[in-house]
């Protein structure tokens, strides 16, 4: 398993679901291949540890709730695509995912489209809508909600770009685009688009600077 998981040959396809803040284009569906699953799991682990190995994987799968959850989430997404795996290994891994959903307070469905290098800083009270899209190297903190708006001009689901930091207690609702390298401050409520490299705070969230997520998004050179 170690040799399989820590093979970086899929590096160039780490994000099968692209994010384009300029056009806000929604990603196309595609089938995750085995080497892509390996890369996604590997990139998530690197965000926590800054390196990868079988020993580091075992350490974090046991001791790090955020990585444990995302690894099971990625694995469910992979297994569910293939008939023989869907009716054999998938139910067992899905039960584990459900168990840790309630234990850790993380509700991110395995079908949610999330790019490589996903990092959950602290667990608890995290809710992400299944149809939301999250780009590469994003950080989510405790108490974050990324949810649907069912009415108004922003009816729909959020679209999160690359290298976005979402602080504790932040809420993002509706068909909004949070562009690359943005930072969402703690307890902010985002109901409109966030420009690239913007830092937003408050309810409703407003731009206070353009220093972006620098310093908050680390270990991305996988």
Q: Is the pLDDT of residue 32 over 80?
A: yes
pLDDT in tens, 87-122: 999 999 999 999 999 999 999 999 999 999 999 999
Number of Cβ atoms within 10 Å of the Cβ of 191 = 17
Q: Is the pLDDT of residue 6 over 60?
A: no
Torsion sign (Cα): 100, 103, 108, 109: positive
**How high does pLDDT run on average in the chain?**
89
Where in the sequence is the domain holding 13, given as residue range(s)?
Answer: 2-209
Instruction: Look up tokens 């590469």; give the residue.
Output: 136
SS3 for 113? strand
Does residue 9 lie in a domain region?
yes
Does residue 222 lie in a domain region?
no
Question: With contact defined as beta carbons under 8 Å apart, do 148 and 130 qualify?
Answer: no
pLDDT in tens, 50-68: 999 999 999 999 999 999 9
Question: With contact defined as beta carbons under 8 Å apart, do 132 and 177 qualify?
Answer: no
Q: What is the pLDDT of residue 207?
A: 97
What confidence category does residue 44 fall into, taking pLDDT thresholds of 50, 70 and 90? very high
pLDDT in tens, 117-157: 999 999 999 999 999 999 999 999 999 999 999 999 999 99
Name which of 125, 175, 115 is nearest 145 in CA terms.
125
Question: Could you give the C-alpha distances from 148 to 29, 154, 181, in angstroms and in order?
Answer: 20, 9, 22
Q: Is the pLDDT of residue 8 over 60?
A: no
When divided into structural domains, the chain yields a total of 1
Q: What is the pLDDT of residue 30?
A: 67
Does residue 39 lie in a domain region?
yes
Q: Is the pLDDT of residue 187 over 70?
A: yes
The CA distance from 57 to 208, in Å, is 39
Does residue 220 lie in a domain region?
no
Report the CATH number at residue 50. Answer: 2.160.10.10
Does residue 219 lie in a domain region?
no
Does residue 166 lie in a domain region?
yes
Q: The whole model's pTM is what? A: 0.86
CA 20: distance to chain centroid?
A: 16
Does residue 215 lie in a domain region?
no
What confidence category does residue 26 fall into, taking pLDDT thresholds of 50, 70 and 90? very low
Does residue 187 lie in a domain region?
yes
CA angle 66, 72, 76 (to 5 degrees): 145
């Amino acid at each position: 398993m170690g040799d399989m998981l820590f093979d970086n040959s899929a590096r160039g396809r780490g994000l099968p679901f692209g994010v384009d803040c300029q056009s806000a284009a929604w990603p196309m569906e595609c089938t995750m291949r085995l080497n892509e699953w390996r890369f996604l799991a590997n990139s998530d682990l690197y965000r926590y540890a800054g390196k990868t190995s079988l020993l580091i994987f075992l350490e974090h799968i046991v001791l790090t709730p955020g990585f444990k959850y995302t690894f099971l989430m990625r694995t469910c997404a992979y297994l569910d695509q293939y008939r023989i795996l869907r009716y054999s290994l998938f139910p067992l891994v899905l039960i584990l995912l459900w168990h840790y959903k309630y234990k850790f307070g993380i509700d991110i469905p395995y079908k949610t489209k999330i790019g490589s290098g996903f990092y959950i800083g602290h667990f608890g009270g995290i809710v992400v809508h299944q149809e939301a899209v999250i780009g590469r190297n994003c950080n989510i903190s405790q108490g974050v909600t990324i949810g649907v708006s069912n009415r108004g001009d922003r009816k729909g689901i959020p679209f999160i770009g690359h290298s976005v930091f979402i602080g504790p207690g932040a809420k993002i609702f509706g068909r909004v685009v949070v562009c690359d390298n943005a930072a969402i401050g703690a307890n902010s409520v985002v109901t409109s688009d966030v420009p690239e490299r913007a830092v937003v705070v408050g309810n409703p969230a407003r731009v206070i600077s353009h220093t972006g997520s620098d310093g908050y998004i680390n270990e991305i050179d996988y």
